[in-house]
Amino acid sequence: MRALVKATPQPGLTLTQWPDPTPGPGEAIVRVKATSICGTDAHIYNWDEWARNRIHPPRIIGHEMCGEVVEVGPNVTLVSVGDYVAAESHITCGRCFQCRTGQAHVCRDYRILGVDRDGSYAEYVALPERVLWKTSPEIPPELACIQEPLGNAVDAALAEDLTGRTLLITGCGPTGLFATAVAKVAGAAVIIASDVSDYRLGLAKQLGAHHTINVKTDSPEQVAATILEMTGGEGVDTALEMSGDPTALHQTFRSVKNGGRVTLFGIPTGQVCFDLPNEIIFKGIRVYGVTGRRLFGTWYRLAGLFKAGLNVRPAVTHTFPMTEFARGFELIKSGQCGKVILYP
C-alpha cells in the first residue's frame, strides 16, 4: 500500500510503498477513506523538540480518520466487513485506576495511533475493534474523519451547560472553530471569538460567532473593555482557551465573571505564571482541563449533536489527495486554513 512515513529523524515525510497490515486478534483492517491533519501531525512533520523526544522512526503517522472495514481478525464481534467507521486514537490499557473508574480519557498507560503505532496516513490501517466507532453513512468522509477533534470541542464546550450563556473562545484554530459551532447548536446566547488572524475570525463568523476580536490589532485593555461592554459590565459566563498563548490565557481569566467557568485546551510551549488570587481564587472560577475526549461518552453526544443540526462544514477549508500532503502542511504552517483533509 501507499503510506506517508516519518522514515528518518528529520523534517518532512516520505510517500512510499509499505507492507499491507494484517489483523491480529481483536483487530480490524480499515480502508482509509479520509484522514485529516492535526497539530500533532504538524509537530511530527516539522520535527520539533516534542517530536524528536516522542517519535521513533520509521512510523506511519496520522490519527484522525474514517474508512470501511475490509477484514477482521480472530474474536472480532463489534464490527463487520463493510462497516463505515471512525476511530478513537487513544488506545487505553483498560487496567489502570482511571480506566476502571470511568476516566479512560486520562488513562495512565495509553498508546496513540500514528505516534506509538502505525497510523492513518495510508491506504489501510489495523486497529483494535474497541476503538472503532460506527458512523452514519449520511456523514461524508471529510466530516466523518474529523469526529475525533470535534469530540475535543464537545468536551471543552459542554463540560457545563451553555444554553443561554455568554461565551468567549480564545483561539480559532480548528478545535476553536469546532467549539464555536458546538456552542451555537447548544444554544449559547452570545459567542465572542478572538484570534490574531482575520481569516480564521471570518471562519468563526460562518460557524456561529456573534462577535469577533482581532487581538493582534486591539490591545489587551481594548479587548477587556470590548468584552465588558458586550456583557453589560459582568464578563462572560464561560471561556474556552484554545490557543495556549500566555497573553490569551490571562485575557481568558480576566474576561470571566466572578463564579464563571474556564476550560483550558490550548497547550502553552512552556510554563505560564498566574496571579492566582486575583485571576482565579478570589473570582471563584471553576477551571476544567481538557485532554482528548471522554471515552466514549463524548462520541455518543457528538452523534446526537449531528442529528440536532451541528454544522462544521465551513471549518473544512481544504482537501487534497495524499500525494499532495506537502501543500496541506504548508497551509497549516501559514495559518490560512481551517481543517485540511487528505484522501489516500
Q: Are residues 133 and 46 in the same domain?
A: yes
A 10 A CB-CB count for 285 gives: 18
Q: Are residues 19 and 132 in the same domain?
A: yes
Q: Are residues 172 and 203 in the same domain?
A: yes
Known catalytic residues?
Answer: 40, 43
Give me the pLDDT at residue 292, please: 87
**Does residue 306 lie within any of the structural domains?**
no
Give me the pLDDT at residue 220, please: 87
Using CB atoms within 10 Å of the CB of residue 235, give its burial: 0 to 12 exposed, 13 to 18 middle, 19+ buried: buried
Q: Are residues 60 and 98 in the same domain?
A: yes
d(CA 7, CA 335): 26
Q: Are residues 37 and 136 in the same domain?
A: yes
d(CA 168, CA 44): 30
How many domains does the chain contain in total? 2
> How confident is the chain (344 residues) per 10-residue block, as mean pLDDT?
97 98 98 96 94 96 98 98 97 96 95 97 98 96 97 96 97 97 98 97 98 93 92 97 96 96 93 94 96 93 96 98 97 95 98
**Does residue 120 lie within any of the structural domains?**
yes
Can you read off the three cell numbers belonging to residue 17?
Answer: 510503498
Give me the pLDDT at residue 258, please: 97
Q: What is the CATH number of the domain that holds 91?
A: 3.90.180.10
Q: What is the CATH number of the domain that holds 208?
A: 3.40.50.720
Give me the pLDDT at residue 270, please: 87
- What's the pTM? 0.95
Residue 27 belongs to what domain range? 2-146+312-343
Residue pLDDT, tens place only, 239-287: 999 999 999 999 999 999 999 999 999 999 889 999 999 999 999 999 9
Q: Are residues 176 and 61 in the same domain?
A: no
